[in-house]
Amino acid sequence: MAKVLLKGCEAIGEAAVRAGALRYFAYPITPQSEVAEYLVRRMPEVGGVFLQAESEVAASNMIFGAASTGERVFTTSSSPGISLMSEALSYIAAAELPCVFVNVVRNGPGLGGILPSQGDYLQATRGGGHGDYKLLVLAPSTVQETVEHIMLAFELADQYRNPIMVMADGLIGQMMEPVDFSAAPKPNPPDKSSWATTGAKGRKPHLIKTLFLSPQLGEEHNRKLAAKYDKMRANEVRYEAYNLDEPRKVVMVAFGTTARVCKTAVDALKKEGIEIGLFRPITLFPYPYKPLRDIAERNEMRHLLVVEMNMGQMIEDVRLATSDRKPITFYGRQGGIVPSPEEVVEEIRKLL
Amino acid sequence: MACKIIFDRPESMTETITHYCPGCTHGVIHRLVAEILDELGLRERAVGVAPVGCSVLAYNYFNCDFLEAAHGRAPAFATGLKRTRPDLIIFTYQGDGDLASIGIAEIIHAANRGEKFTTIFVNNAIYGMTGGQMAPTTLPGQVTTTSPFGRDVANVGYPMRMRELLSALRTPAYIARVAVHTPRHIIEAKKAVRKAFTYQNEGRCFSMVEFLSTCPTNWGMTPVEATQWVQDNMVPYFPLGELKTPEEEQDAD
Ligand SMILES: Cc1ncc(C[n+]2csc(CCOP(=O)(O)OP(=O)(O)O)c2C)c(N)n1
Ligand code: SF4
Ligand SMILES: [Mg+2]
């Protein structure tokens, strides 16, 4: 199929439909309301459902209820809305239900603004909601990759019975880019009849709950969840090593939109004969600690430059990955400002 | 003369003995719902949504699929379920703290959208599970652990009448208030539950049955005193009966 020109938000909606996710509940918030505006027309064409909820609290709990039927379900929101959804995320993770949450991140804290940001990194990777739970977090850097991540997210959600978060940002949500759906896998959801609550006809009742009053059962449940997160750590780490086929003196670490900017900086310096590497985590949880450590431990590697659209959040994982054995410099822009490749190049020059 | 069983456990109930306190009417309400699921043949399509409150463990007593929602969110949860699988029979079972306080937005909007599920609302004028704190339904002057001198309406407002509040919405619905403190009231209550599930089964409208229920433990009363307290104090403030049916002509504006 030919490429189609789509706005990021529309591409998110279309990708979900093609992944067979025909239940969508959401509450408007800039910069991602266009997902709902797209799906309100698209869902009826494919026999799907879109319902505008009264709040993100309600939308995320609608997802909780809908996911219990085993159907593919999802919601989209942006930072303040994700804060309200954190309650449901904790419950859904505890109940082990598959579903997809998309966060088109805007700048915060508080009402913040409507421009792109990566200020929700810690919220996405460290919880947000209460208790020992993890989301598998995918961080695309282009509209095309967002489409691929949405489709992958539904597969992973079903496989792990866990909420998956696709963390984009306001730039990806609002940008128009050509999108190719031809590589889209045919949705292949597993059989969920062993746990879905769809009426106890001819079988014992199914129960989906998160309350464990007995400390022994509570501990058992936490350990079961932890084993699942370990499995993700073992099998789902994704990253891109750009211009790192050979050891580099300076290696940047960036994800999402920022990584795309950093790539341009790498290419620009290459033209001058300066070789810089870029390490781009694609899964933010599980974080690619080992591959980053291996790169940082090369003798030639002198300096890491972490670039983010926040005050320095992923840098904590870079420090964990490298045990602070190499110097790390942080360069960040905030308030919705996307760093330019020229700015990044200037930062690199300071380190050379 | 051959013996005939005229009273038995409904198929929609399990044999588990409930954890409710002596004199608590949560159990009676469970049984009425189970009897109606049986009588209307809905058990195999039924999915219950438990609240957070004393009835959080309701799923141990119902012999149908069940889920446990977050505190107050059962109506949103049920919306997601029903919109995804309209063929199922969905009911939420919620206390007054759950429905009228933390979850008031969710119940109002679910009712206003005319979601085709049934809410069993158990109003015992108190937070039972957390040890007897004031609820939005706590009566004027009623002593609770967080209103030790009695509910002061000048400070915290009057108890909320959820039947009346939801009936004010224009969207067609079935909304009734019943009680279970005497056999006569139980018989009336069952009629309302039957109607509520029938409307849902016909895909007609949202339905809610509000039950006046006892909490002898946190009211500090014997079971007998508690039933009397329902009659003397709750019924006058929370009048019984249907307030809204989908057949009613909606007022034009
Ligand atoms: C978010 C959240 N806040 C508070 C609680 C604590 N809590 C549990 S049950 C409850 C009130 C239950 O009262 P009600 O809904 O009236 O049910 P009852 O026990 O009286 O049947 C509260 C406040 C909770 N579980 N979750
Ligand atoms: S605390 Fe009150 S509502 Fe809860 S089981 Fe006991 S009597 Fe019933
Ligand atoms: Mg109560």
The complex's ipTM?
Answer: 0.95
Which of B121, B129, B212 to mutate to test ligand 2, by most ligand atoms within 8 A of the CB atom? B129
Query: Which residues does a 6 A CB cutoff place in the pocket of ligand 1?
Result: B 52-55, 71, 95-98, 122, 124, 126-130, 135
Asked if A154 and A184 count as a contact pair (C-beta separation under 8 A), the reply is no
Looking at residue A203, the DSSP 8-state letter turns out to be S
Q: Given the CA of residue B213, which atom of ligand 2 is nearest to it?
A: 3
Those residues of chain B that have pLDDT short of 50 are 252
Residue B216, domain extent: 26-244
Name which of A178, A182, A184 is nearest A4 in CA terms. A178
* A237 torsion bin: left (phi>0), alpha (psi -120 to 50), beta (else): beta
Residues within 8 A of A (CB atoms), B 232-251 only: none
- Over residues A55-70, the pLDDT tens digits come to 999 999 999 999 999 9
**pLDDT tens for each residue of A176-203:** 999 999 988 889 899 999 999 999 999 9
Q: Are A141 and A259 in contact (CB under 8 A)?
A: yes
How close does chain B come to A318, measured CA to CA in Å?
Answer: 35
Closest Cα in chain B to A206: B65
Tokens representing residue A243 in the block: 């211009």
Identify the pLDDT of residue A1.
58
Do the Cβ atoms of B47 and A25 come within 8 Å? no
A142-175, pLDDT tens digit by residue? 999 999 999 999 999 999 999 999 999 999 999 9
Looking at the structure, tell me whether residues A127 and A245 fall in a common domain.
no
At A2 the pLDDT is: 82
In a domain? residue B12 = no
Is there a single domain that holds both residue A295 and residue A176? Answer: no
Type of residue numbered B247: E
Q: Do A205 and B45 touch (CB under 8 A)?
A: no
Lowest-pLDDT range of A197-211, A234-248, B237-251 = B237-251
Task: Residue A217: give the domain boundaries.
Answer: 4-191+208-235
CB contact under 8 A, B84 and A209: no
Same domain, A253 and A185: no
pTM (two decimals): 0.96
CB-nearest partner of B59 from A58, A71, A207: A207
Are A172 and A247 in the same domain? no
In the listed set A235, A254, A287, which residue is the last one of a domain according to the structure? A235
In chain A, residues with a C-beta closer than 8 Å to the C-beta of B89 are: 199
- Is the pLDDT confidence value at A212 over 70? yes
What sign has the CA pseudo-torsion B69, A226, A74, A7? positive
CATH of the domain at A42: 3.40.50.970
Q: For an interface test with A, which of B40, B65, B117 has the most A Cβ atoms less than 10 Å from its Cβ? A: B65
- Mean of per-residue pLDDT scores for chain A: 97
Pair A153, A79 in one domain: yes
> Among B56, B64, B69, whose Cβ lies nearest the Cβ of A61?
B69
Task: Report how far residue B91's alpha carbon sits from residue B99's, in angstroms, rounded to the nearest whole number.
Answer: 13
A19, A163: one domain: yes
Q: For chain B, what is the total number of helices (H) and then of strands (E)?
A: 10, 7
**Which pLDDT value is given to residue A297?**
95
Q: Are A75 and A60 in contact (CB under 8 A)?
A: yes
